[in-house]
Structure 1
C-alpha cells in the first residue's frame, strides 16, 4: 500500500493512528521479504533451464539441414511417380485397345461360324443349335462388327447379311414346324419350339403363335363346356364358370411359358379373350332364354319364390366374371413386375383397356341389368307380403313386420355384394333404403293412434257416488278384439324402436362388407353415400317410435288428468284424515303401469314413458293446486300424496324426480301450521309462486303472506 493511501486510511496525527500505520507497513515489508526469498530460491533452476535452451538452439541448424534433404527427396519421388503414372495409363489404353481388337476378331470368327452353324443345324433339323447360333449373333455389338469390317476389306462380302439371311430362314422353319405341331396338337413340340423364338429375337411372334394355338383349343373346349344338359339350379352359372376357367388356364399357360420374356402377356390376352367372350355370351343368352318365364315382366312363373334361385344364379355369374377380370389383372401385373415402373404402369393401363372394351364386360352389364330388375321385383313382392301379414286382424297378438323386412333387406344386400359389382351393390342399397322407408310408413300408420288403455293404469280411488260411475265405465272389461289391437300396437311400437337400430347396423355391415370391392376413393364415397339411405330409414323408424310413445301417452291422458285432480283434491271433509292406502294409491297405480310397461316394452321405452307420464301428472297437479282452497288438513293430505309420489319417483322414474320434488314442495307449503314458517321449507320455487300457494290456505291471512320475506 502506498504512503498516500496509508495517510488517507489512518490519522497519523494521533498516536493510535500512527501505530496502526506502522503496523501495516511492517506487515507489507514482511510479505515483500518473503516474495524476494522465494525468487532467490528459484534462481538455480532458472539458470539450468537457460543453459539447456542454449544447447538445444545449437542443434537446430542440423535439424534444418536434414529437413531440407528430405524435402528434396520427396520432390524427386513425385516427379518420378508422375512419369510412371503416365506410362501406366498408356499401357492400360493399349491393353484395352488390344482386348477390343481381340473381341472384334472373335466376333468375326464367331459370325462366320454362326452362319455356317445355322445352315448346318437347319439341314439337320437341330433347331436348338441353330437358335443358339442366332442368339450369339444377336448378342454381338453391331458397331464393333461394322468398325472391324471398315478396317479390313470393305469390298469383301458382309458376313452379317449372310447371318441375317440364315436367321430368317431359321425363323421360317420354326414357324412352319410350329404350325404343323399346332395341327397335330403336339403340346410337347409346341412348347419346345416356342422357347426358341426368344433366342432368335422373335419373342412377340412366338407369343402370338402360341396364343392363336391356345385360342383354337379354348374355342373347342368352351363349346363342349358351355353345353347345359340338365335343368338343375345354377347350371348356367356353372357353365359360365367352366368357360372362364378354360380361358384362365390358357392365360396361365402362356404366362408360365413366357416367363423369360416379361411384358408380352397382354398381347396373348388380346388374342385369347374374344374366344372367351363369345363363349360367355352364348351361356348368357342361353340363361336368359331358359329363365325367360322369371326374368320377363310378363313371365308366367314370375313370383318371389321362383325369382330367388334365378337371382342366386345371376349373382354367381357376375361374381365369376369379376373374379376372372381380377385374375387377368393380377397375372399381367405379376408378368410385368420385373420391368421398370413406367412399363408396369403401361401394362396395367393396357389390361384395363382390354377388359373395358371386351365383349365379356358388356355381357356382365346385361346380366347386371337383368339382376337389378329382378332384385327390385323380389324386394317389392317380399315387402308387400310382409306388410300383408303384419296388417291388424282379429286374434293377432304379435307382428313380424320389421323382422321380415330387415331379413329380406339383409339377404338382398348381401346377395348384391356377392356379385362383386360396386354399382350393383349401390343400386340395391338404394332400393333397400326406399323399401325400408315404405315399411316404416306402414308402421307409422299402425302406431299413429293407440287403442284405449293400451297399458294398465288404475284409476284413482272414487270420492263418492258421482265419481264412481265414470271410474267403473273407464275400467270396463276389454273384449277380445280390443285386447288383440292393444297387443298388436305394443308389438309395432317395439318394432319401430328395433327398426332404427337394425337400419343403422345394416348400413354399417353393408359398408364393411362391400368396402373390399372398391378400387378407388371415388367408389368408396359412392358406396357410403348409398348406405346413407339406410340411415334415413333409421331416422324414419326413430320418428315412428317417437310417434308411438306420444300416441301411448295420449291414450292414457284421461287417467293422467284424473290422477292430477286426485293429487290436488283437498278432500271431502277438511277434518277427515286420509287413509295410508289412499295416500299411496298413485304409487301403487304407477307400479302396476311400470310392471306392465317393462314386460311389454323395452327398458328405455318404459323409462321414457313412465317419466313423461309422471312429469305430466305432477305438472297438471301443480296447476290444479292453484285452483283449489285448502284447510290445514286438506293441505296435509296433498303433502302426503306428493311426498309418496316423490319417494316412488326416486326408484321408478328418476327422470321425473325434479318435477315431483317441486310438487312435494308445494304440498309442504300447504301443510304449514303458520305462513311465517314458509321460509323454513326447502324449495326452489319463486317468491310469487310461494305466495300464491300460501294464499290457497283459507286460514292464512293475506296480510301475513304479504309481509313474508322470501
Structure 2
C-alpha cells in the first residue's frame, strides 16, 4: 500500500549471521558415504529421469521446472514491453479522476431532481384524473338532466303539435325522444320520480304510434288525390319517426304508378303508329327508350330528396321498386314487339330453314325481311344496356358516399350487381340476344350465299361482285352486333363471321381454284381471249376460256378477301376500343381472342392464293417456258469471235425469250390484281431460274460462250426487274455465279473467288456444282484437273470437315468440298 515500506524497515528479512545459501557443505566430514554404497542409483526398473507430458510431448520432470521458468520469463518480458503503455494509461486515469468526482456529484443532483419531478408529476396526474372523472360525471349528470328536460318538453310538445296538426314538429319531438336512452333515464331517476317518467314514456310511445298511423294514412290519401305537395311533405316525415323503409316503399310505389301510366300511354301510341312513319320500324325500341328515360328522370329529381332526408345508402331501396315496375312495363313492350313483328313465327321458320336446308329458294324465309327486325332487336338491347349501366352507376355512387364500413360497402355493391343480373329486364334481353344471334347468323349466311349465286364480273374490275357483297354483309352484321353493347353477342357474331367466311365463302373460292388452270391449245391466244372476255363483261362460249376466266377471277377474289379480312379486323378493333372502353379485363380478353380469329381467316385466304399459283405455275408458266428454254439448249455457246460478233447483231435467243415472257406477263397483267401480278412475276422468275439452271448444266461453253451467256443473263435480269416491284436478283444468284465461272479466262482464276479469297461474296453453289460448271468448259479440261489437284492439296493441310448434306440453296463455306 502507498506510504508503507516493503519490506518493513527494522526487520531483518534474512538473518545476517547465516550465510544463505551456505557457501560450502562438507559432506565428507560427516562420515557418510555419498552417494551411499550398496545402493544402485538410479534404482533399477525405474525410468530416469521421470517424464511428464506437456503439449503432447514427453518432457523429463527435471526439465519441467526449466520449462515453466522459461514460460514465466516470457510472460514477464511481454508485460515489461507494455510497461510504457500501462503507465500512460494510468497517467490518463489520474488526470480524469477529478472530473469523475464532479460527474458523480452532478449525477446525484440530477437523480434528486428527477425523483422530485416524478413525484410531482404523479401527484399532478392523479389530481387531473380525479378532475377528469369528476368532469365526466358532471357532464353525464348534465346530459341526464337535459334528457329529462327534453323528455318532459317532448311529452308536452308532441301532444300540442298533434292537436294543431303540425306533424313535422310532432315528428321532430318523436325523433328527439327516439334518440334518448330510456333504460339509462330510468336508472338515474329517483323512485318518487319513476311514475312521472313512466307516464312520459307511455304518452310518447302512444304519440309515436298515433303519428305513424296519421302520416301513413295522410300519405296514402295524398297519393289517392294526386297531391304532390302533400306526398313530398309526408315523405319527409317518415325517417323522423323511424319508418325509412316504409317511406321509401310507399314513395316508390307512387312513382311506379306514374311510370305505369305514362308507359301505357306510350305503348298505345306505338300500337297505333302509321307504318309510313320513319320510326315505325324501331317503334318498340323507342318505347323502351322512353320508359328508361322516364325512370332516369325520376332518379335524377328524387335522389337529392332521398339523400337529404333519408341519408346516403338508401337510394337503392327506392331504385329496386322502380326497377320492378320497369320489369313489368318492359315485358309488356317485348310482348307487343313479339306480336306485332310476328317474332315467334320468324324464329320458328328460320330454325326450320337451318335444320331442313330447303332446296327450293321460294320456300325459304327472305333474309332481307330480317334486316329491319334485327336492327330493332339490337337497338332494344343497346338502350337496355345503357339504362342498366346508369342504374348501377347511381346505386353504387350512393353506397360509396354512405358511412358504411368497406366490407359492408363491397357487400352492398355485390347485391346491386346480383340484382341487376337477375332482374326480369336482363333475362328478357338475354332471350332477345339469343334469338338475335340465330337470326343474324341466318341472315349473314343466306346473304353470302345469295352474293355467291348472283356473282358477276364488270369490265372495270378484276374481282367479281361476290367479294364486295360478301364483306359488306359481314361488316354490316358484325358492326350491328357491336352496337348491341353485349360482349357475349359480339363474340358470338365474330365467331359466326369467321365460320361463314372460312367454311362458306372460302370453300367456294377453293373449289374453283382447285379445278386448276386448264391447258389450252395456244396459250398466248388463250390469254388474249381471257382479256377480251373480261373487258366485254361476258364469258365466251368456250368452256375452256370460261374456266380460265373463273380461275383467274377467283384468284383475284382470294387475294382481295385476304386484304379485306385484315381491313375488317383493324376497323373492328378500333370500334371495340371505343365502345367497350369500361368493360372488364375478362371481357376485353374475350373480344381480342375473337378478333384474333378473324385475323386467322386472312391466312386461310392466303392459302387459297398460294394453292392457286401452284396450279397456275403448273398449268400456264411451265408449259410456256419449257419450249423457250429448249431454244437456249439448241443455241451453241461454244462459239468463235465471228459468231460472238454475229450474236451481238442478231441475238439468237434472249431477245425472243424476253418478248415471249413479256407477252405472257402483259396478258396476265390485265386480268390479275396488282398483288397477284407481282406474285405471278415472282413465280415466273422462279420457274425461269429453275429451268435455266438445268439447261446451263446441259450446255457446253467456251470463253466467248460464257461471255455471251453473261450478257443474256444480264438482259433477262434487267427485264424482269423492270416489270415488278419485288426484288428478283436474289433468285438469279446461282445463275449469276455460274456465269461468273463460265466467264473466267482461265479455270485457275476460280481461286481468286473461292475459299479464303471469296471476300464478301457468298457462294450459292456447292463445290461439286462449281466443278460441274467448270467442266462445261470443254477446252479447259486440263485446267480443271489442275484445279482439282490444287483443292486436294489445300484440303490436306487441315482436318477434313464432317460430311453434311447440302441443299442447292445452302451457302458453301470457303475451304470445304464434297466427296
Select which of 130, 148, 160 maps to 1:90: 130
Greater shift, 482-491 or 384-393, is seen at 482-491
Equivalent residue, structure 1, for 2:393: 330
Equivalent residue, structure 2, for 1:660: 732
- 1:696 offset after TM fit, Å? 4.0
Deviations 1:11-37 (A, max 9, x none): xxxxxxxxxxxxxxxxxxxxxxxxxxx
- Distance of 2:106 and 2:690 partners within structure 1: 119
Equivalent residue, structure 2, for 1:100: 140
- 1:701 offset after TM fit, Å? 6.4
Is the Cα contact below 8 Å between 1:379 and 1:408 reproduced in 2? Answer: yes
**Partner SS for 2:240:** coil
**Partner SS for 1:263:** coil
The answer to whether 1:414 aligns with 2:479 is yes
Equivalent residue, structure 1, for 2:19: none
Deviations 1:256-282 (A, max 9, x none): 321132222333233333322121111
- 1:206 offset after TM fit, Å? 0.8
Counting only pairs closer than 5 Å after superposition, residues 521-532 of structure 1 correspond to structure 2 as: 521-532=585-596
Counting only pairs closer than 5 Å after superposition, residues 632-671 of structure 1 correspond to structure 2 as: 637-648=708-719, 655-670=727-742
- Distance of 1:67 and 1:236 partners within structure 2: 96
Equivalent residue, structure 2, for 1:48: none
Select which of 683, 686, 689 maps to 1:618: 689
Equivalent residue, structure 2, for 1:33: none
Larger radius of gyration: 2
- 1:546 offset after TM fit, Å? 1.3
Counting only pairs closer than 5 Å after superposition, residues 29-40 of structure 1 correspond to structure 2 as: none
**Partner SS for 1:259:** helix
The answer to whether 1:182 aligns with 2:223 is yes
Greater shift, 313-322 or 240-249, is seen at 240-249
Q: TM-score if structure 2 supplies the norm length?
A: 0.69
- 1:284 offset after TM fit, Å? 0.9
Is the Cα contact below 8 Å between 1:134 and 1:199 reproduced in 2? Answer: yes
Equivalent residue, structure 1, for 2:371: 308
Greater shift, 97-106 or 270-279, is seen at 270-279
Change (3 A) 1:488 1:395: farther
- Distance of 2:370 and 2:215 partners within structure 1: 56
Counting only pairs closer than 5 Å after superposition, residues 209-358 of structure 1 correspond to structure 2 as: 209-227=250-268, 228=270, 229-230=272-273, 231=275, 232-260=280-308, 261-292=311-342, 295-298=346-349, 302-339=365-402, 340=404, 341-358=406-423
Is the Cα contact below 8 Å between 1:451 and 1:485 reproduced in 2? Answer: yes
- 1:110 offset after TM fit, Å? 0.9
| Structure 2 residue runs without a partner (length 5+) | 1-94, 351-362, 534-538, 755-762, 792-819
- 1:666 offset after TM fit, Å? 3.0
Change (3 A) 1:628 1:263: same
The answer to whether 1:198 aligns with 2:239 is yes
Equivalent residue, structure 1, for 2:152: 112
Change (3 A) 1:238 1:476: closer
Is the Cα contact below 8 Å between 1:668 and 1:681 reproduced in 2? Answer: no
Superposed CA RMSD in Å reads 3.9
- 1:251 offset after TM fit, Å? 4.1
Equivalent residue, structure 2, for 1:367: 432
Change (3 A) 1:590 1:101: same
Greater shift, 366-375 or 406-415, is seen at 366-375
- Distance of 1:338 and 1:694 partners within structure 2: 91
Is the Cα contact below 8 Å between 1:694 and 1:705 reproduced in 2? Answer: yes
- 1:180 offset after TM fit, Å? 0.5
The total of aligned residue pairs comes to: 637
Is the Cα contact below 8 Å between 2:514 and 2:612 reproduced in 1? Answer: yes
Equivalent residue, structure 2, for 1:465: none
The answer to whether 1:504 aligns with 2:570 is no
Is the Cα contact below 8 Å between 1:197 and 1:203 reproduced in 2? Answer: yes
Select which of 534, 545, 551 maps to 2:598: 534
* Structure with greater contact order relative to length (CA < 8 Å, sep ≥ 6): 1
- 1:490 offset after TM fit, Å? 4.3
Change (3 A) 1:352 1:476: closer
- 1:629 offset after TM fit, Å? 4.3
- 1:119 offset after TM fit, Å? 1.5
Greater shift, 473-482 or 516-525, is seen at 473-482
- Distance of 2:325 and 2:438 partners within structure 1: 29
Change (3 A) 1:395 1:297: farther
- Distance of 1:563 and 1:354 partners within structure 2: 79
**Partner SS for 1:420:** coil
Is the Cα contact below 8 Å between 1:397 and 1:484 reproduced in 2? Answer: no
- Distance of 2:109 and 2:695 partners within structure 1: 128
Q: TM-score if structure 1 supplies the norm length?
A: 0.79
- Distance of 1:203 and 1:290 partners within structure 2: 43
Change (3 A) 1:567 1:140: farther
Is the Cα contact below 8 Å between 2:238 and 2:246 reproduced in 1? Answer: yes
- 1:179 offset after TM fit, Å? 0.6
- Distance of 1:72 and 1:598 partners within structure 2: 113
Select which of 669, 689, 693 maps to 2:769: 689
- Distance of 1:616 and 1:221 partners within structure 2: 78
Is the Cα contact below 8 Å between 2:307 and 2:315 reproduced in 1? Answer: no
- Distance of 2:747 and 2:590 partners within structure 1: 71
Is the Cα contact below 8 Å between 2:382 and 2:483 reproduced in 1? Answer: yes
Change (3 A) 1:241 1:537: same
Change (3 A) 1:142 1:553: farther
Change (3 A) 1:475 1:568: farther
Change (3 A) 1:400 1:152: farther
Equivalent residue, structure 2, for 1:18: none
The answer to whether 1:556 aligns with 2:615 is no
Change (3 A) 1:266 1:536: same
Equivalent residue, structure 1, for 2:556: 494
Deviations 1:581-601 (A, max 9, x none): 543444455556666666655
Is the Cα contact below 8 Å between 1:266 and 1:347 reproduced in 2? Answer: no
- Distance of 1:674 and 1:349 partners within structure 2: 90
- Distance of 1:185 and 1:475 partners within structure 2: 86
Is the Cα contact below 8 Å between 1:645 and 1:660 reproduced in 2? Answer: no
Greater shift, 334-343 or 234-243, is seen at 334-343
Change (3 A) 1:147 1:685: same
Counting only pairs closer than 5 Å after superposition, residues 469-488 of structure 1 correspond to structure 2 as: 480=533, 481=539
